[in-house]
Chains A and B, each alone.
Chain A
Amino acid sequence: MNVYDIIFYLFAAITILSAFFVVTTRNIVYSAYYLLFTFFGVAGIYVLLGADFIAMVQLIVYVGGILILLLFGVMLTNRITSVEIRSGSIHVVPATIGVALFAGILLASMWNTEWKSVDTAAPAATTQNLGFLLIHQYTLVFELLGILLLIALIGAASMARK
């Protein structure tokens, strides 16, 4: 067990525990802040996997963007912070079937994947290769996704003006 193992388990624990509290806590602002730690833990795991660019984008988009917007929404909405969130159990049978199916798919994919568990040197930076791939091999998909995002932005702006 070297340092990186310890760091991995630390980040994994942060992610799982905070994700658990996101769904169980009754205060919606607390949920949002537990989500911050979930995103942080996921970003840490990305770094350990050698996906440095994805980790940074995770932080920029989720912590710097989505989470802040979420907090804005929660804090600006009148009295939402004192609303009692309903968290009883309804529709137990369909929920159990759904969760069991999902867990089955996850476990099956975990067992059937050949995990690379070889110790490698510190992974090289990925940004440059990623950029080349996006501009050379996947140009069309990349551009289409960009246009899709632009359409979503314009749509949101025009809806907000009404």
Chain B
Amino acid sequence: MIYDFFLKITGSNILASIIQSLLPLFIFILPFALFAVWLERKVSAHMQDRLGPMRVGKHGWLQTVADILKLIQKEDIVPNDADKPLFNIAPILVFVGSYAVFAAIPFSGAFIGSNIDLGIIFIIAASGFVVAGILMAGWASNNKYSLLGAMRSAAQIISYEIPTVLVVLTIIMITGTTNLATLSEMQTGHFWNWMIFGGPNFGIAKFIFIPFMIINFIIIYISTLAEVNRTPFDIPEAESELVSGYHTEYSGMKFAMFFLAEYANMFAVSAIVTALFFGGYQSPIGYLGNLFGAHWLIPIEQFIWFTAKGIFFVFVQMWLRWTLPRLRVDQLMAACWKYLIPIAFVNLIIIGLITVL
């Protein structure tokens, strides 16, 4: 495990924990955000038959670095009538909320920030801070568009948390664990052991599970899409109505923090879907490390598989963004309360019955 390795090098468990907790930020989130912003622009451009950023680096791959350099130099503007303390704390609170989620995500067999027993519940709990931070940003900006955007965002995140939790409950019922690392370990072997294909137990129940698991997956994917405010659920920052929603008044690095939190969230929800349904960090076809007898290779392969699955779902989010139009507020709420939640409940009951029988 990575923690033991740092413990051996530094000789102090405080230093080792600090390094361990900073690892996902510097090794993963920052490079991922750089890549994802570029990918988003490229995906949108190619879907609209454009080229996208082409100037900085080959096919514009250094464009985001250039943008970050620009953002750092920008003047940090705080509106006169804004509530200054809350205005300055809000981006930090939002980022803390989305970074806390990464503590429980199992990146590979050798690295999970904190292998707590209640991993998935912790992730749901930590996202509460994001909502509080978004409301804080909207209110402190003292701008009606910001406040409206924050309200919509909070209402949306809270509503769509219910179907997410219901789907998570079905998974907990089948596997009997809330620990994401254990859950990933259970789905080891080949891809037919993944939860989307009925889980690791082989029997009749496995085949009955498959259609319900697919419905489950669709529900959780839609509702996590809404929780990170992506199109078609991006009414909190609907450009044509609300300028830019709750971060209208932010500039410079504070804006960059919201941006970073948004992309971190996109990966976090993709990682949750991956860990719950698509085997987490497990390879679908077996490991090269086992083939060559080099066991040190396996955690690295697992990390690559996990990132690849996560980035695939992030790509699907971008794909949907440039394919679907935005929902209205009432349609958004109807979709959640009239369709997703009842379907999720029925699913929960049926899967519960199958598990008992």
Contacts and interface: CB of A to CB of B under 8 A. Distances in A.
Interface of A: 3, 29-30, 33, 36, 52-53, 56, 59-60, 63-65, 67-68, 71-72, 75-76, 125, 127
A143 B121 CA distance: 22
Given A36-B132, A75-B139, A64 B161 contact: yes
Given A52-B117, A75-B139, A127-B117, A68 B132 contact: yes
B61 interface: no
Give the top 8 A-B pairs by smallest Cβ distance, nearest first.
Answer: A64-B128, A125-B117, A59-B125, A63-B128, A60-B125, A56-B121, A56-B125, A71-B135
Given A3-B14, A71-B132, A127-B178, 6 more contacts: A29-B83, A56-B122, A60-B121, A67-B128, A67-B132, A75-B135
Contacts of B126: 59
Interface string B124-154: 1111110110011011000000010001001
A75 B151 contact: yes
B300 interface: no
A52 B131 contact: no
A12 to B, nearest CB: 19
A29 B127 CA distance: 20
A33 B86 CA distance: 9
B118 A53 contact: yes
A112 B178 CA distance: 38
Range class of the B interface residue count = 20 to 34
A53 B118 CA distance: 7
Contact of A68 (B118, B125, B128, B138): B128
Nearest to B140: A29
Contact of B131 (A33, A68, A76): A68
Contacts of B151: 72, 75-76
A75 B125 contact: no
Contacts of B125: 56, 59-60, 63-64
23 contacts: A30-B86, A33-B86, A33-B132, A36-B132, A53-B118, A53-B121, A56-B118, A56-B122, A56-B125, A60-B128, A64-B124, A64-B127, A64-B131, A67-B128, A68-B128, A71-B132, A71-B135, A71-B139, A75-B135, A75-B139, A75-B151, A127-B118, A127-B178
A25 B225 CA distance: 38
A68 B128 CA distance: 8
A68 B158 contact: yes
A52 B14 contact: no
A56 B116 CA distance: 11
A29 B128 contact: no
B351 to A, nearest CB: 17
A59 B14 CA distance: 25
Contacts of B122: 56
